[in-house]
A and B are shown apart, each in its own frame.
Chain A
């Protein structure tokens, strides 16, 4: 496992002037409750991940925190400012990297950044200094005159990271920063986020539906499902909370009725989830014992095992444990 906090003491929630406070926040669209009574806080300098499947309410939450969507009830403070009452003060404290890539492809990186710095009211000399420094940080200094349309997906994402920081905010919001990127670009963007966080002492709130991303980047992870916050802790603590030490993934030629119950009845099996098709994932205490029991049970039922592998538990198991269903 990657150590997410990189040697810093894990900040605890609710201690001394948190950067973000979310109190009993509700968002309703007509009859639909997109966010249902969510509360948490993010300490200054901490990186918090909002983890959940598409439609869980992550984007709505981040949009309420970034003044884009009105809050139905509850309260959000960012940088000490209530987003509903002092939106402009809150806006100056935060940088937002939306999910969609919105840099203009027919403008250069520098022009994109400069226009945003002007929108934030950054004065000329400060703009030049800040943009030059940011482009160094995201390794795009030599491309600053290039049109964004000529960049790769990962480079464009890095340009957007820099754009979100042109006004030197304290808090950075990233909405699914690596969705749609290839593995190399993802690792690249992760590195940039870590680097920027350290260079600028940022508090970061990131939404993702990738477990590895949350594991790699976040000090703490908030699991969101169907508009509710179902768990919030460090990745380590979340994994420790899942009963069972290892996981078995198996695929079978057919799934008999009551197969899930039968799997759960096997020795040492803590949980069983279908992963789609005829593939199942079990969280177990003793991988050897459970595997043996599984093989003999399958033989008895006339089910052919097509594959069987033993892995350690991951955040996927954590997610399944808290929400009762697999993330993907």
Chain B
């Protein structure tokens, strides 16, 4: 390994990188947008849900159900009960989207409650929207259960509801949940843009032809490319992690030990992604290809990694992908580091996997790379 040659390639890449700061900015922009837009769009509690209430009973227990529902309205305007005269009208309005659901309290409801029988209430839901119907189901179920107790608690407002209502930043938890995925995605994008796409653009322009007439070896060229991509991704990744962590209120990252661990992790993840993409594009010539496979890889690796949804909910075949996916380990390690406040040593298995993965991919890239045109 001739380090003068390796450092010459790195020097070229970094000089170019420093003269186009826009590239770094754009690489950071998309993950940050995702953090702020998705972090705020998802995971917020659905409010202002309208619920048709048809009271065919009119008894005291039925009144308590209605009161419990009104209490939800006063508590953060989560639910707006609207009284309907007939079940038919209510059902039509659910179908037409005027209300999100309809609660039907049948005749004899109060009598059954007092008789200690298990009374039933009907809930019509528009289940084309899973998230809304599940939210509505849980609100209503809570209200019905509380109201059907013969001696309701002193407070009409249940402790859970009042706890939810005092949260100062109701959206932060999901933003925090997304943060490790977003940082990983930023590193992946850096590897794609600053690595694979630049590599094939250079190849297309004939820059590689220029390298190949010099005595540089395959390993030197591949390692230099991966190293320069890693440096670029690390700069972006650390910036992204700091901006993201501070915006999501995860300030523990500023502890020196965590900062060092973050740097090590970001470097390893960057090498893993750079080497993986360089393996994929080693034999490609068309610069359109990495742009085309970017979306595919993103779907295949980002979504099963636990970045947006817990891996525990995945079917078997997706778990297999998740197990060999560097995203999974990156997301897990970042979550430990940024959100859980656990000891840094907990990261070790993730770091080991990432190092092993990077080693395999670097070797693969060197083997796949062709020294001729």
Interface positions of A (Cβ within 8 A of B)? 63, 66-70, 87-88, 91-92, 94, 96, 98-100, 102, 104, 106-107, 111, 115-116, 118-121
Q: A99-B206, A115-B12 are in contact. List 5 more A-B contacts (CB 8 A).
A: A100-B209, A107-B19, A116-B8, A119-B5, A121-B2
B11 and A115 contact, CB distance less than 8 A: yes
A120 and B214 contact, CB distance less than 8 A: yes
| Closest-CB distance, A288 to chain B (whole angstroms) | 51
B209 and A102 contact, CB distance less than 8 A: yes
A68 and B214 contact, CB distance less than 8 A: no
B210 and A102 contact, CB distance less than 8 A: yes
Give the complex CA separation of A125 and B163 in angstroms: 72
B5 and A118 contact, CB distance less than 8 A: yes
User: Which of the listed residues B5, B205, B209 has the most CB atoms from chain A within 10 Å of its own CB?
Assistant: B209
B7 and A118 contact, CB distance less than 8 A: yes
B372 and A68 contact, CB distance less than 8 A: yes
Asked if B215 is an interface residue, CB under 8 A from chain A, the answer is yes
- B residues 1-15 near A (Cβ < 8 Å) are 2, 4-5, 7-9, 11-12, 15
| Closest-CB distance, B20 to chain A (whole angstroms) | 7
A106 and B214 contact, CB distance less than 8 A: no
Give the complex CA separation of A88 and B218 in angstroms: 12
In the complex, which residues of chain A have a beta carbon less than 8 angstroms from the beta carbon of B11? 115, 118
| Closest-CB distance, B322 to chain A (whole angstroms) | 40
Asked if B213 is an interface residue, CB under 8 A from chain A, the answer is yes
A-B contacts, 9 of them at CB < 8 A, read A68-B209, A68-B372, A102-B206, A102-B209, A107-B16, A118-B11, A119-B9, A119-B211, A119-B214
> Contacts A102-B205, A115-B11 given: A69-B372 contact, CB under 8 Å?
yes
> Contacts A63-B373, A98-B206, A115-B11 given: A106-B16 contact, CB under 8 Å?
yes
Give the complex CA separation of A106 and B13 in angstroms: 11
Asked if B212 is an interface residue, CB under 8 A from chain A, the answer is yes
Give the complex CA separation of A63 and B213 in angstroms: 9
In the complex, which residues of chain A have a beta carbon less than 8 angstroms from the beta carbon of B210? 96, 98, 102, 116
Interface positions of B (Cβ within 8 A of A)? 2, 4-5, 7-9, 11-12, 15-16, 19-20, 205-207, 209-216, 372-373
Give the complex CA separation of A100 and B207 in angstroms: 9
A91 and B206 contact, CB distance less than 8 A: no
Cβ-defined partner of A106 (8 Å) among B19, B205, B213: B19
Give the complex CA separation of A69 and B372 in angstroms: 5
Determine the residue in chain A with the shortest Cβ distance to B19. A106
A100 and B206 contact, CB distance less than 8 A: yes
| Closest-CB distance, A251 to chain B (whole angstroms) | 39
> Contacts A96-B213, A102-B210 given: A118-B8 contact, CB under 8 Å?
yes
> Contacts A68-B373, A121-B4, A121-B5 given: A102-B207 contact, CB under 8 Å?
yes
Determine the residue in chain B with the shortest Cβ distance to A119. B214
Give the complex CA separation of A121 and B213 in angstroms: 13
B5 and A107 contact, CB distance less than 8 A: no
B213 and A118 contact, CB distance less than 8 A: no
B12 and A107 contact, CB distance less than 8 A: yes
B373 and A119 contact, CB distance less than 8 A: no
B5 and A67 contact, CB distance less than 8 A: no
In the complex, which residues of chain B have a beta carbon less than 8 angstroms from the beta carbon of A107? 12, 15-16, 19
| Closest-CB distance, A118 to chain B (whole angstroms) | 4
Determine the residue in chain A with the shortest Cβ distance to B213. A96
User: Which of the listed residues B2, B11, B214 has the most CB atoms from chain A within 10 Å of its own CB?
Assistant: B214
In the complex, which residues of chain A have a beta carbon less than 8 angstroms from the beta carbon of B209? 68, 98, 100, 102
A121 and B215 contact, CB distance less than 8 A: yes
Determine the residue in chain A with the shortest Cβ distance to B216. A119
Cβ-defined partner of B215 (8 Å) among A69, A88, A98: A88
In the complex, which residues of chain B have a beta carbon less than 8 angstroms from the beta carbon of A99? 206
| Closest-CB distance, B198 to chain A (whole angstroms) | 12
In the complex, which residues of chain B have a beta carbon less than 8 angstroms from the beta carbon of A102? 205-207, 209-210
Cβ-defined partner of B16 (8 Å) among A66, A70, A91, A104: A104
In the complex, which residues of chain B have a beta carbon less than 8 angstroms from the beta carbon of A94? 213
Give the complex CA separation of A79 and B2 in angstroms: 24
In the complex, which residues of chain B have a beta carbon less than 8 angstroms from the beta carbon of A66? 213
In the complex, which residues of chain B have a beta carbon less than 8 angstroms from the beta carbon of A100? 205-206, 209
Give the complex CA separation of A91 and B207 in angstroms: 16
